[in-house]
Structure 1
Amino acid sequence: MKLLFHVQHLLGIGHVRRAAVITRALVEAGFAVTVAQGGFAVPGTDWGGAEVVPLPPVRSADTGFRTLLDAEDRPIDTGWKKRRAAELLALHARVRPDILLIETFPFGRRAFAFELVPLLEIARRAVPRPLIASSVRDILVDKNDPAKVEGMADTARALFDLVLVHGDPAVIPFEASFPPAPRIADLIRYTGYVGARPTREAPPGDGVDEIVVSVGGGAVGAELLRAALGARAISAQRDARWRLLAGPDLPAGTMAELAAVAPNGVVVEPARPDFPSLLARCRLSISQAGYNTVMDVMRAGCRAVFVPFAAEGETEQTRRAELLAARGHCLVVPEQGLTSERLARAVDDAVAAPPPPRATLALDGAQAAARLLRDAAAGKRSAA
């Protein structure tokens, strides 16, 4: 069964990481997957042997997502949009998928309606018509315009057959961050959470009883790394080795700046593919609260301090972190007003607290998504 998966990230690497986990599960389930990769390549991403077709890449100029830049750092224009839409439609015509899977849209990525709406409309007219599904995380960023939110539900109703929500309604229902969800309840299928299974074991000693500080891709993590470096000097946990992991999108020169002032007992290094293994051994994790990192922390069962990314009205990470804090899984330090002193206090409190409860989150959401898509496509064929 052929599946075309449209994936577009603009800032950070969380969307790509989650999409790659889902893609690997799809390949393992026997799907022939083609990934239309719309963002800049993320080194080290394991797509599980799927065909990855790069579209002309684009990224956000900043955390406001108001200006999108092409490969030459120029704002994208009408000509660029026409060329990219044509490439995507040509890819769809070549693959002729049985399933068309779109990451995030229509619940985000509205700036890409120029290519996605024509793609979806052509797919709906195809004979035989593919199953059309959206892949969306558990929590959306709050929107200030109710009309736009309602429009997302309208688009889902008009153009999609399924909405795969990568969460658990017992933890947080989709309507908690998307109020019109009841209007599309018949389309929604909860997969459980998409947690990557550890694939690499860290070398002996690495991570053992350490404070592991991570910032995902690193595009918006420099201040957390600086605060952690300062916190180590005043924390009661300064006897431990602190390992600061710099993501691939950390601004140029920041890693060198941190390494230059790091004292003995502090390691500054690039983000590692064996990160989940480090968490399984650590004394404490310090991180932001992006979907993928939280899933890694929950799978590891380690103590954690989350500093949720909250710039430009971002609410998704704060909501997720506060939910887990209420269940005893972590402590939360707000990004606004972050200081080394506040972080050090949270670190010491988290280490002194009882171990977190065993996570009850279902983390096999990628495998569940593959099963749901296969069953829905098979049912569509038998009904045709």
Structure 2
Amino acid sequence: MTHSAFIHVQHLLGTGHAVRAAAIGKALTARGVDVTLATGNLLPPTLDTTGLKVVQLPPVKSPDAVFNRLVTPDGDPIDIAWEEMRTAATLDAFAAKPHDLLLTETYPFGRRQFEFELSALLDAARRRDRPPLIATSIRDILVRKQELWKEEWMADQAVKFYDRILCHSDPDFVQLSDSFPFADKVEHLLRYTGFVGGGKRPVPPDGVGEDEVIISCGGGAVAEGLLMAALEARPLSRRAEDTHWRILVGHDISEDAFQTYRKSAGDGLIVERARRDFPGLLERARLSVSQAGYNTVLDVLIAGVPAVFVPFAQVKETEQTQRANALASHGRAVVTPEQNLTPERLAAAIDDALALPRSSHQVLLGGAEKSADILLEDLKARAA
């Protein structure tokens, strides 16, 4: 029997959500599943979606790190008419095939702004004569909410609608209960998959990245402070002023801003766009400097390279800080806050991190493949 899966993903600023959803989709495809990936934002140009049927829903994003409003790619605010259009597009895409698997990325453990759409999707799935297996895909650490009732609502929604929760973490490193106070309510649905990512990527050209300091910022939408400090920190470092620093500027940063960064680069600095061979650069590097997003931290863990993390922590964001501190507690990184970041403070953190040894610890990987296997096992059990 050929299974059909519908994956819904919505990224707002960073690209990690889309990267994980696509990886799981490709793992399902490799196991013979027909996969539709419905994306609520424009996918990054570096993302490989080979083998997936990608449905572009009316795109929307967050204009800033406050996450209290949503806008179209042109910056127009959304309204009720837009919400109705978006919901209709999602339901039409879901109705195109008799999917026997529905996977929502993050929701209900986040993306509550999209309840108008996703509650309708869940209702449509439950109303089918043969309802699909319903699963959610969540990263290692959730963003804490100031109101406890919102987190309890997440658990209640999961128990009401979902058959499986896939947590993409190494449980020896971080568990759901570390960032979610109602983990015990959903424990019967929970399976740890290992981290999603770490697959084969292009090998950098000979010599590129060798003994360098690699500064990266993911998509870059909220990385201006880190990039500006990095442009001036090299001559202030005692342990890394003798090597090239390579600053990788994300594709969410405008071309005008990118050219400004390039023109500001002093001696020993290379400024270029984010590269697909980034993991290979880290394997050769002396040090990694970055925020603490899921995908970047995973690449750092795999490479075993010492790291400086400047976690994104604007407004109410807690996820990156918690992840960065977890690595620091394992002796893998130095953490410096992004608030009031200066070249001097960044250079000092770099020097401190270069006193750390490289690591050979093997982190639990294969999260996309394990997720696919778990979901297919669940489908098989349901059919028995």
TM-score for the superposition, normalised by structure 2: 0.97
The answer on 1:84 being equivalent to 2:93 is no
Equivalent residue number for residue 338 of structure 1: 341
Backbone CA RMSD of aligned residues: 1.2
Give yes or no for the alignment of 1:352 onto 2:344. Answer: no
- The residue type paired with residue 370 of structure 2 is A
Kindly report which structure 2 residues correspond to 1:240-255, keeping only aligned pairs within 5 A, or say none: 240-255=243-258
Worse-matched range after superposition: 25-34 or 174-183: 25-34
CA contact (8 A) 1:174 1:181 kept: yes
Q: Is 1:20 paired with 2:51?
A: no
Matches within 5 A, 1:33-182: 33-182=35-184
Paired residues of 1:198 and 1:277 also in contact (CA < 8 A): no
Matched residue, 2:365: 363
The partner residue of 1:284 within 275, 282, 287 is 287
Q: Which amino acid is 1:7 matched to?
A: V
**CA distance in structure 1 between the aligned counterparts of 2:76 and 2:120, rounded to whole angstroms:** 25
1:267 aligns with 2:270: yes
Match of 1:306 in 2: 309
Cα offsets for 1:196-250 (capped at 9, x unmatched): 3132011111111100000000001121011111111211212111100000112
Q: CA deviation at 1:24?
A: 2.0
Contact 1:221 1:250 in 2 (8 A): no
Matched residue SS, 1:156: helix
Looking at structure 2, the residues matched to 250 and 299 of structure 1 have their Cα atoms a distance apart, in angstroms, of 27
Deviation at residue 331 of structure 1 after TM alignment: 1.0
Alpha-carbon distance, 1:252 to partner: 4.8
Structure 1 residues not aligned, in runs of 5+: none
Shift of 1:353: 2.8
SS of alignment partner, residue 96 of structure 2: helix
Q: Is the 8 A contact 1:289 1:306 kept in 2?
A: yes
Equivalent pair of 1:219/1:251 in contact (CA under 8 Å):
no
Match for 1:193 among 188, 192, 195? Answer: 195
User: Whole-Å Cα distance in 2 between the matches of residues 57 and 353 of structure 1?
Assistant: 43
Q: Which amino acid counterpart does residue 190 of structure 1 have in structure 2?
A: Y
2:11 to 1, 9, 12: 9
- Are the aligned partners of 2:307 and 2:334 in contact in 1 as well (CA < 8 Å)? yes
Amino acid corresponding to residue 294 of structure 1 in structure 2: V
Alignment partner of 1:227 is 2:264: no
Distance 1:251 1:338 in 2: 22
Alpha-carbon offset, residue 168 of structure 1:
2.7
| 1:264, distance to aligned residue in structure 2 (A) | 2.7
Q: CA deviation at 1:71?
A: 3.6
Which of 168, 184, 187 is the equivalent residue of 2:186?
Answer: 184
Query: C-alpha separation between the residues in 2 aligned to 1:108 and 1:285?
Result: 29
Q: CA separation in 1, counterparts of 2:321 and 2:362?
A: 20
Aligned pair partner of 1:256 in 255, 259, 263: 259
In structure 2, stretches of 5+ residues that fail to align are none
Report the Cα offset of residue 120 of structure 1: 0.6
User: How has the CA–CA distance of structure 1 residues 117 and 129 changed in structure 2, closer, same or farther, with 3 Å as cutoff?
Assistant: same
Code of the residue aligned with 2:268 in structure 1: it is G
Task: Provide the rounded CA distance (Å) in 2 between the counterparts of 1:97 and 1:52.
Answer: 15
Q: Does the 8 A contact of 2:282 with 2:288 survive in 1?
A: yes
CA–CA distance in 2 between the matches of 1:52 and 1:337? 41
Q: Is the 8 A contact 1:222 1:250 kept in 2?
A: no
Paired residues of 2:332 and 2:356 also in contact (CA < 8 A): no
TM-score by length of 1: 0.97
Give the superposition deviation at 1:251: 4.4
CA gap 1:337/1:99 in 2 versus in 1, 3 angstroms: same
8 Å CA contact 2:283, 2:304 repeated in 1: yes
Partners in 2 of 1:295 and 1:195 — Cα distance?
7
SS at match of 1:140: coil
Measured after TM superposition, the shift of residue 145 of structure 1 is 0.4
Contact 1:21/1:196, CA 8 A, preserved across alignment:
no
Q: Determine the structure 2 residue equivalent to 1:215.
A: 217
